[in-house]
Amino acid sequence: MSSKRRFMQLDVFSRQVLKGNPLAVVIDADGLDEATMRAFARWTNLSETTFVLPPTTAEADYRVRIFTPHRELPFAGHPSVGSAYVAIEAGLVATGKNALIQECAAGLLPVTIEGADAGRTIHVQAPPAQLHRIEAALRQTIGDALHAALDDAQVRLVDNGPHWLICDLHEASRVRALNPDMHAIAALCERHHAIGVSVFGREHSGDASMAVRAFCPADGIPEDPVTGSANAAIMAFLAERGDETYGPRYRASQGREVERDGYVEVARDPTTGAITIGGGCVVAVRGELNLG
C-alpha cells in the first residue's frame, strides 16, 4: 500500500480560517497502525487529529479514530463535525446525501448536512450522556482552580464519551473574565480521569445565547478554542435539571479568549432527548502525507 495519503487541515465551528478549532484529518488512513496514528497526533500537536477509515459495518458511511496528543477518544465534537466535512470534500460519501452515519469508538452516530459547499453546516448527534453529582471536596477543588465559588447545583461530571467537569457560572461576563489555575486543573483532571473543565454562562446580547470556555491542560491544551463534546455535555446538564433558560436550541460562542471566534449550534430533541452539535467548517490546507 502506498505510504502517501491525502490530508486536510481545517477550522471547525467557523467559516473563517484561523477563527475556529483546527483539526488535522488523514483521509486514506487504512493500513496505518495505532502507533503511527498516535505519533502523528503528537506531531501535529493540535487538540485532535483524526484518521478516516473504511467502516466495519454496512450501516456506517465511514469510520473515524480520534486522537489528542496524549490519548485516543471515543468521541469528540469538533473532530466529528470536521471529519464528516472532509468525508464529503474528499468524495468518500455520495454527493448530495444529507444524512450520514459516522462510526467511531462511541458507536454509530447520525450526521445531518444542511446547505452545500462553503455554506455547508454539519450536525453530529452526541452519544447519550451520563451525569453524576460530585463530592463537595472535588467541587471545592474545582472552585479553587477557577477562583469561583460553586454550589452543588452548578457542577456535574458528564460522560458523553470524554468525561467533562461542567460548571454553570450563570453569566457570560464571569466566564470571559476567568483566569484559572491551569496546574490545579491539570492535576484534578488527571486524578479524576476527566478530559477537562468547561464553564458556561448567559449572554444577554450579540449573536449567541451562551459563552463557553473549556480548559484541558492535562491533555496539553490549556484552553480549547471551540469544543463540541463540552457543548453537548452542557446541554445534557441543562436537560437534567430542567433548565429552560436557553431552550431546546441555541448558539454558543467560544474561543474569543484565545483569539478565535467559534460558534456551536446546540439542539436537543424534546421527544428523544438526543443532543446534536453543529457548525460550519473551512479548509485551510489540502495536501499529501508521506508517513513512510
The residues with which 103 forms a beta bridge, in sequence order, are: 63, 108
Alpha helix (H) residue ranges in 90-213: 136-146, 172-177, 182-192
The answer to whether the CB of 221 falls within 8 A of the CB of 230 is no
Give the number of other Cβ atoms within 10 Å of residue 40's Cβ: 19
Residues near 240 by beta carbon (within 8 Å), at least 6 away in sequence: 131, 156
Q: What angle do CA 215, 220, 224 make, to 5 degrees?
A: 35
Categorise residue 166: left if φ over 0, alpha if ψ from -120 to 50, beta otherwise: beta
Q: Of 6, 14, 38, which Cα lies nearest the Cα of 286? A: 6
Annotated catalytic residue 59: no
The active-site residue out of 48, 89, 203, 223 is 48
Residues labelled as active-site residues? 48
